[in-house]
C-alpha cells in the first residue's frame, strides 16, 4: 500500500517538494474536488488549456502565492481591511 503524503504545511515545505511530488499533491487535491485533468490534452499549444500548462501554473502558484499570503501582516493600529476598498472611501469622506 502506498504511503499517503501529508499536505505541505508551509511555503518552505512546498519549496522542498520536487515537481513530481507537487504534481501528485495537485492532482490529488483536484481529484478530491472532482476535477479530472486527464480529459485535457497532455501538451497541445493549439488547445485553450492542456495538462502541462495547468500543472506548471499550479506549481508556480503553490511555490509563490501561499508564502506571500502567510507572510502578510496586518497593522493592528492601521485601518481595517475591506473587501471593497472603494466603498470604504465613501464612508471616510467627510
**Structure confidence by residue, pLDDT tens digits, 31-43:** 999 999 999 999 9
pTM here is 0.62
pLDDT at residue 51 is higher than 60 = yes
CA–CA gap between residue 63 and residue 57 (Å, rounded): 10
Is residue 83 very low, low, confident or very high in pLDDT (cuts 50, 70, 90)?
A: low
pLDDT at 17 (0 to 100): 87
Residues 11-22 have pLDDT tens digits of 667 778 899 999
CA–CA gap between residue 27 and residue 57 (Å, rounded): 13
pLDDT at 82 (0 to 100): 63
Rg, Å, the chain Cα set:
19
Amino acid at each position: 500500500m502506498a504511503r499517503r503524503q501529508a499536505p505541505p504545511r508551509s511555503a518552505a515545505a512546498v519549496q522542498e517538494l520536487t515537481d513530481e511530488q507537487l504534481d501528485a499533491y495537485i492532482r490529488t487535491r483536484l481529484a478530491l474536488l472532482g476535477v479530472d485533468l486527464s480529459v485535457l490534452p497532455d501538451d497541445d499549444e493549439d488547445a485553450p488549456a492542456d495538462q502541462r500548462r495547468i500543472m506548471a501554473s499550479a506549481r508556480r502558484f503553490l511555490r509563490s502565492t501561499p508564502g506571500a499570503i502567510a507572510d502578510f501582516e496586518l497593522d493592528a493600529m492601521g485601518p481595517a481591511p475591506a473587501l471593497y476598498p472603494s466603498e470604504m472611501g465613501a464612508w471616510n469622506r467627510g
